[in-house]
Structures are given as C-alpha cells and as structure tokens.
Amino acid sequence: MLSLDHVSKTYHVGAFGRGRLTAVRDVSFELRPGEVLSLIGESGSGKSTIGRLILRLMAPSVGSITYEDVDIADFGGRALKEYYRHVQGVFQDPFSSYNPIFKVDRVFGMLRAEFFPRVGSEEWRARLEAALESVSLNPEDVLHKFPHQLSGGQLQRLLVARALLLEIRYLVADEIISMLDASTRIDVLNLLADLKGRGLGVLFITHDLSLGNYISDRTVILRHGCIVEMGETGKVFGDARHPYTQDLLASVPLLHEKWASNGDAEPATRRSHELVEAPPLVPVEDGHLVAAG
C-alpha cells in the first residue's frame, strides 16, 4: 500500500528564494492495489505536484509518503531503484516524454540496461512484444520509429507498456489523456481500467470530472493544495457535499442537458491562497469525507 501522510510541499520563489508558495497542504490518502483513485483538481490545485512527490521526483517539505510501511524519503540509490520497479509514472505530454533525437525503442533500452542487464536478447524481445500486445499495440507499427512518426495515443500506450515491463504495483497517470484526441482517449482509459482489473493500483490525475467518474473507484477533490472532498466515486459525484465540488459538477458541459443558468464561480481578480491551514476532513457518511468550513 502507498500512503501519503499529512504531506505538504512549499516552494521557494522569487529573488533569492524569499517568497513561499505552498502547492500541497496537509494531504493524506492511500492508494491500494487493484483500484483507481482519481485526483481531481483544476490548475494550481497541486495534483501534479502530488504525482511527482509520489514518484520521488521531489521531496515533501512536511509529512511522509510510505510504501509498504517504509518512508520513501529514506531510499538511497539501490532502494530507490527497487522502488521504481514497483511504482512508475506516465506524464501528460507524450511528445515531451521522449527524447526527440532518439527512436522510441530507447525508453525500453534504458529500462533493460538499468533493470534487466542479464536478460538475453531473445527473451527481452519476447517480453517486449508481450507488453506491447497487452496495450493493444502492434510491435511492427511502433518499434524502430521516431517519436514524431507516431501519434500521441501510441506514444502514451508505449509508456504504459514500458511501465508494465517492470512488475509495477502502482502507476501514476498524470493527465495522460488530456493531449489526446477524443477518439483515442477512451481506449487509453479502457486500458487503465483493464490494468486495474489485473491488480494494478492507479493514481489517475486529471482535471476532467467525467473521465475521473468513468474509471475510478475512489475520488479525491483538490483545491489550492487541500483536499476538499474524498471518498467513493459514486458518493462524491452522486452526493457532493462541498460547495466547490458542487460548483465543479455544475460547470461540466454535459451532452444532453444544458447548463443551469446560475452565476459563474470564478472571482473577478486573482486572489492569493488565503488558507493558512488546511481544514480538517470530516466523514459525512461511510466512505465519504468532506472538508469542514
């Protein structure tokens, strides 16, 4: 189990790092195998930061992230590599995730060099093809190509295949479909749902509520770095209690229902994040917590 415990992240900004920007504030939740947890928030909510904290691309300022009851901040070189055997990530921009001057095979080659140095060529090829097939990609179509020769959907699926080559238990999917076309999005989403069925735990970071609702078992709603509501997806979406969640749901454009003609939520000027402390989460029903206040 992967769990976050009162995690906060504060950046130093400005000249000589005098200013402070708190991206994540006192966030706690758990990620379990075999389930999809949606982390939903708008831009500036800290959701991507949480993804990067879990992937140990940065360290939390306060709090801890534990994997199987061990704090990941303690991981040194070898332990970190072991961690990456079990936890991997896929990012938003498929074209930025590949070094444009190399062929896409390189991401697999890198993995092989670092994690599977003793695996023979034949067996590696077999494993690679199996991984590609499990994400519905034809090896002939995608291997030995440059990133600009493939589509965004193919590139994203390649990255999922890469993660599957390791025996990962958790996948952090950071807005992985926002740059894909509508017709390919759903296929990548179905892939994630399929992986969940095979025992993988997925942290699905998105700003799109309909997508989150489609595949996730539990949902966390983030706002300005704090959790405002979390719980089973059905309960959070079906019976949203926090006004922010309700506003979000009311703003989603639906396909068969027009927007209700109420006022618009965004304030006229940009306000700095006034909250000093994150409001505590209060359970309103079984499996459903809402921030107080």
Partner 1 sequence: MSLHVDDLRVYYRTLAGDVKALDGATFDVADGEIMGLAGESGCGKSTLGKSLIRLDGRMRYAGGHVVLDGKELPIWDDEAMNPFRFHNVSIVPQYAMSALNPTRKIGRMIGELLRARGADPRTVESELARRLDLVGLEQGVLGLYPIELSGGMKQRVVMVISTLLDPSLLIADEITSALDVSTQKAVARMLVEFRDRGFVKSMIVITHDIAVLYQVADTILVMYAGKLAEKASAEEIVSSPKHPYTRLLVSSLPEVGVRYEEKELHGIPGRPPSLLTPPTGCRFRDRCPLATARCAQEPPWVEENGRGVACWEAASSQAARPSLVAGAR
Partner 2 sequence: MSAVAAPAAAPAKPVGAVRESLYFALRNRKLVFGASVTGAMLLFAIFGPLFARHGPLAYGGDLSLAPTRHGGYWFGTTLQGQDVFAQFVTGLRLAFIVGALGGGIASAIAMVVGFTAGYRGGIVDEVLNMLTNVVLVIPTFALLLVIAAYLSVRGILTEAVFIGLTSWPWAARALRAQTFSLVSRDFVDLARLSGRSSWQIIFKEIAPNMSSYLFMMFILLFGGAILIAATLDFIGLGPSNTISLGMMMQLSVQNAALQLHLWWWFLPPGLALMTIVGSLYVMNVGLDEVFNPKLREM
Q: Beta-strand (E) ranges in 140-232?
A: 170-174, 201-206, 218-223, 226-232
Show the site string, 95-134: x = touches partner 2 by CB under 8 A, - = not.
-xxxxxxxx---x--xx--xx-------------------
Determine, following the binding rule CB under 8 A, whether residue 91 of this chain makes contact with partner 2.
Answer: yes
Q: What span, in angstroms and rounded, lies between the C-alpha atoms of 42 and 224? A: 9
Q: What is the DSSP letter of 5?
A: E
Determine, following the binding rule CB under 8 A, whether residue 135 of this chain makes contact with partner 2.
Answer: no
Show the site string, 163-182: x = touches partner 2 by CB under 8 A, - = not.
--------------------
What torsion, rounded to 10 degrees, do the Cα atoms 236, 239, 243, 246 define?
Answer: 80
At its nearest, how many Å lie between partner 2 and the CB of residue 84?
6
Stretch that binds partner 2, among 139-147, 206-214, 224-232, 282-290 (CB under 8 A): 139-147
Q: Work out whether strand 19-31 and strand 36-40 pair parallel, antiparallel, or are unpaired.
A: unpaired
Q: Are 180 and 150 in contact (CB under 8 A)?
A: no
Stretch that binds partner 2, among 76-84, 198-206, 215-223, 262-270 (CB under 8 A): 76-84
Task: State which residue, 26 or 174, has the beta carbon closest to partner 2.
Answer: 174
Size of the site for partner 2 (CB under 8 A): 30
Show the site string, 46-65: x = touches partner 2 by CB under 8 A, - = not.
------x--x-x--------
* Alpha-carbon distances of 67 from 73, 84, 170, rounded to whole Å: 10, 11, 10
Kindly list the residues in this chain that would bind partner 1 in the complex (CB under 8 A): 42-43, 151, 181-187, 189-190, 193, 207-211, 213-215, 233, 237, 247-249, 251-256, 258-259, 264-266, 268-270
Determine, following the binding rule CB under 8 A, whether residue 84 of this chain makes contact with partner 2.
Answer: yes
Task: State which residue, 132 or 211, has the beta carbon closest to partner 1.
Answer: 211
Which residues on neighbouring strands pair with residue 204, listed in sequence order? 38, 173
- With DSSP H G I counted as helix, E B as strand and the rest as coil, what are the percentages for the chain, rounded to 5? 35, 25, 40
Determine, following the binding rule CB under 8 A, whether residue 237 of this chain makes contact with partner 2.
Answer: no
Contacts of partner 2 in 196-235 (CB under 8 A): none
Which residues on neighbouring strands pair with residue 246, listed in sequence order? none
Nearest to 33 by CA among 201, 174, 220: 201
C-alpha of 231 from chain center: 17
Nearest to 263 by CA among 276, 275, 247: 247
At its nearest, how many Å lie between partner 1 and the CB of residue 36?
9
Pick one of 141, 181, 239, 285: the residue that binds partner 2 (CB under 8 A): 141
Q: What span, in angstroms and rounded, lies between the C-alpha atoms of 87 and 54? A: 9
Q: Work out whether strand 2-13 and strand 19-31 pair parallel, antiparallel, or are unpaired.
A: antiparallel
Q: What span, in angstroms and rounded, lies between the C-alpha atoms of 164 and 175? A: 18
At its nearest, how many Å lie between partner 2 and the CB of residue 39?
18
Binding site for partner 2 (CB under 8 A): 52, 55, 57, 80-81, 84, 88-89, 91-93, 96-103, 107, 110-111, 114-115, 141, 144-146, 149, 159
